Every structure is written in C-alpha cells, then in structure tokens.
A and B are shown apart, each in its own frame.
Chain A
Amino acid sequence: MSAGRAIVAGDDTRGRTGFERVRALMEMAAGDEKHDPSAHSTLDIVWVLYDRILRFDPTEPRSESRDRFILSKGHGPVALYAVLATKGFFPADELERFMTWPGILGGHPARDRVPGIEASTGSLGHGFSMAIGVALALKAKDSDRRVFVLIGDGESNEGSVWEAALLAGSLELPHMTCILVNNRSSTRPLGDMAAKFTSFGWVARDVDGRDHDALETALRQTDARRPSLVVAHIS
C-alpha cells in the first residue's frame, strides 16, 4: 500500500494522463443535464488526494491501514466517483449509470453501495463532525492514519461546521486535515477562513485549488499537535 498507487496500475491511471481520464469520465457521466459546478470545483483536489497523498488499496477499501477521506458536502460526488473508478475501486463503466435506477452512484454518495466511499453524506454539515469522530477513534486505536475531510464554502454557512471547527481546534488531532473548497458559492461572505480557523487552534494555509503541486505541498504538511486546514480557492 503506497500513496496514490492503484492496483490496476497503468499509464492512464496516474499523473496528468490519469487526471485527463478522470475529467473525461466525469464529463461523460455528468453530461449537460447533470452539469454540476460542485464537481468541477473539487476535481483537482480529489485527484491530488488519491494520486499523490492517500494510502489505500482499492481491493481492500475498508483496510485498517488506509487513510480516510470524507466528502462532507456530499455535493458533486461525480468527481470523486471518477477518481475512485480510475483508481480501481469499481469499474469505470459504472459511471455510465450515474444517477440512474440500475446504478450504484447516486447524486450524493452512499457508503454501503460504493466501494471507497467512507461516509454517506449529502445533507450539509454532517461529514466534518463525523471526520472528527473518525480521527478520535483512530487515536484511540493508536493509529497514525490520516483523516481528510472536504467541506464547501457554501456548506460553511451551517452552524454545525462551526461546531466542528471549534471542537477540532481544541483537540490534539495532528492527523486530521480539513480541505475547504472556496468556489464562492456561499450566500454570505465568509471572510478570511484561514484566520478564523487559526483562532480556533488550527494550522491553516491558503492554496490555489487548481494547482496540483501547490495542493500536494499543502496537503502533505502537518503539525505535531494541531489539525490542519487547507483553503483551496477556485477561481
């Protein structure tokens, strides 16, 4: 098990070629009728996570030794589906049945139906706190596996997001990283989220959400004690 290594290793599952394949899969699945800006804004981030950061084995999606990733906002999961398929969690042709009766890939992800999905999400503001629970559980198991959770700027209108930010910042969770995708979908201006999370006790960084190398650098960084926030700005 190593970072970004799929069992179905091939030229088209990694790096820039892999990313273009994922993008094509996503476009095919989503089509014009299901066009989803939420998926487009998270695509680069999810790809960098699975291609460069996370340790996983698609043949053992619930392996104890995997890193965990929770798509808290649940919206735009087709990007995550395309990445999971490309990395070998399930056949890519499943994307052809996205949001259809015979398919397993819904408009929001379900953990009991889709290999690689850690948590069923869709109602905003749930997955962030679930990720804290996962991180605390791993701590109780004395595990050093990392926990990543992706939230949206629109999702950050939810009060439960602020509960989670306050709580995690006060706990020793060095293996937890929250990725806040800022695609300017928040009805209310959020201001400087990195500064806000820092005031709660997080280590926070701002990064270009389309720059794969910058994302990788930010996602690799951890603190000895504190959880990390990466604010990924989508222009």
Chain B
Amino acid sequence: MAATVSDLLDIDPRVFVVLADISASYFHRASARHPDRIINVGIMEQTMISLAAGVALEGFIPVCHSIVPFLVERPFEQLKDDFCYQGLGGNFVSIGASYDYGTDGMTHYGPGDVAILATLPGMQIVVPGTAGEFDTLFREAYTNGSPTYFRTSAHQNANDRAVSFGHLELVRSGSRATVVAIGPMLDRTLSAIDGLDVALLYATTLAPFDGQTLRAAAAARSVIVVEPFYEGTMVAEIVRALAPDPVRVEAIGVPRRVLSRYGTPEQHDADIGLTPAGIRQRIERFLDSGR
C-alpha cells in the first residue's frame, strides 16, 4: 500500500495523503519529498476524513488509511456526509481486515466494514486478493472521482491474477452451481471445490458489482459466495443481479457473533470453519440440498 501510494505521490501532483498515526512510519521518505501533500493528523479519525474532504474540495485526490474500525466505523458519518453526500472523490485504504489482528480483540476486528459501506450511495468497494492486485486496482480507480474503499488483508492468495476494476473474472466453468470467491478467499475456495462440478468467479470489485458476468455464469441460478467478512454481506447484490429469476444462495463467511477468542487468523479461520475443508463441507451440503 505505502509503496503504491508513495509512487503515485511522486508522479501525480493531485495525490494528497491523510493519515491518523497508523502506518505513518511507512511514509517518512515520501513525506520528506512531498511535505505539503502528506499529513499525519494524529489519533483523530473523524478529522482525518473531514480534512480529506476539504482537500478534495480544492481538487486534490485524498488517500486516507487506518485499521478497519478506525477508518470505517468510527468516522462513518464523515464518509457519508463529507464524501458521498458532497459527491467528492477520495480513497480509503484499510488494513486489519476481519480478524487480521486476531489477538487484539473485537475492538480491532473489522468484519462489518463492507456491509456498512455498502449502504452508502456512490461508495465503491474493492477487495484485492494480493498486494499486487491492490496496486493494479488502486492505479486503475484512484482518479475516478468516487469515494473508493480498498480493503487490504494479511490474508493473501499465492499469486496475482489479471484483475480489472469493476469486473468479475471467470476462473473455471461448472454446471451445478456458481461459486463467487471474494479477494483473499480465492485460494482456499479453489482447494474447497476441487473435483466439484461448479463454476468459480473471482470478485475483487464489490461495488459497483458486475452483475452481468454473474448472470451469464450462473445458469443454474444456484450461487455460493465465499466472503472474507460477515457472511451474507453480498447476498442482496447477488439476488439483484439475477432478478427476477428465483435464486438459491449460500453465503459462507464470518458469522455475525462476537469473536471473543484471541489467536492467529488461522485459528479464527478454524474456529468459524473458513478453511478449505469447512468451505467444502458447506458447499457440498448446499449442493445436496438442491437435488
């Protein structure tokens, strides 16, 4: 993230970075080169977002960054009013997806970010599966004049794919159902569906959602979405894309309960079944129930 944004600071004089302490050390060198276009406001996230809107009012392209709860949930109203309502473009790059900070407790978990941001008109949502994909998608979208949320994660897939903003990618074909793997869920989903007759779509842009590609790929109107955040977040978008046809949907992701244990992301995955085996089990159950 810092490498991409620092590079853009060098080549695009409109880029203006607004930080709230988190990751500030990653921008020391860029700050020395562009002291007028990087500010670390301190621990004041509401001001980070409103200040960025002020920067946008003057024609700059702001980039804000923090851990999910402090970028999305604490200053949510600032995102709504100062960017969406005012029709301003800006970029909001998070770290600490879901339980990436798995030993720090619920205050530092962020499985609800995409669900609440999806309520905001005009908010674009991007969930890259690798750092390389973040670089590609950010460079493609950061100037597009809309508020855009980039959700980065410690969970990454092994390889970059040729992603493109706003498009689902058909990874493999199949007839019994269509699985949609979102961002860092791709690798484990590929393992989970090994040998199953299902199609697989890879999603990195969630809003705007590429319903056209889903509609073309989901002939059976049975869809399973594997989500790295609260499960069910994308169901409404999937149903909308396939409307008015009746559709069977299964959502596999983070359950909506307080995650009260402390552990590695892998331990949390195992606890909630977000592993290749757990995902396969739920996919098989879904396929069997539709016979």
Contacts and interface: CB of A to CB of B under 8 A. Distances in A.
Interface of A, secondary structure class, is helix
Range class of the B interface residue count: 20 to 34
3 closest Cβ pairs, A-B complex:
A133-B54, A129-B50, A137-B58
B127 interface: no
Contact of A160 (B36, B46, B57): B46
Range class of the A interface residue count: 20 to 34
Nearest to A147: B54
Interface in A142-191: 159-160, 163-164, 166-167
Contact of A119 (B16, B77, B86): B86
Contacts of B53: 119, 126, 130, 133
Interface of A: 111-112, 118-120, 122-123, 125-141, 159-160, 163-164, 166-167
15 contacts: A119-B53, A119-B86, A120-B86, A127-B50, A129-B47, A129-B54, A133-B50, A133-B55, A133-B57, A134-B55, A135-B54, A137-B58, A141-B58, A159-B46, A163-B46
A164 B77 CA distance: 16
Given A136-B39, A140-B60, A167-B42, A130 B50 contact: yes
A112 B122 CA distance: 15
Given A111-B86, A123-B77, A130-B82, A167 B54 contact: no
Contacts of B87: 112
A140 B36 contact: yes
A126 B39 contact: no
Contacts of B58: 133-134, 137-138, 141
Given A123-B81, A134-B55, 10 more contacts: A126-B50, A127-B50, A129-B46, A129-B50, A133-B58, A136-B39, A137-B16, A137-B55, A140-B36, A167-B41
Interface string B58-99: 111010000000000000011001100111000000000000
Given A112-B86, A140-B36, A164 B47 contact: yes
A133 B49 CA distance: 9
Nearest to B46: A160
Contacts of A139: 36
Given A139-B36, A140-B36, A140-B37, A118 B57 contact: yes
With most chain B CB atoms within 10 A of its CB, the pick from A122, A126, A131 is A126
Contacts, number: 92
Nearest to B58: A137
Contact of A137 (B41, B44, B60): B60
A136 B51 contact: yes
Nearest to A167: B41
B38 to A, nearest CB: 10
Given A125-B46, A160-B50, A167-B47, A120 B85 contact: yes
Nearest to A70: B54
A120 to B, nearest CB: 5
Contacts of B59: 137
Contact of B55 (A111, A128, A136): A136
Contacts of A141: 58
B177 interface: no
A133 B39 CA distance: 10
Contacts of A112: 86-87
B52 interface: yes
Contacts of A130: 50-51, 53-54, 57, 82
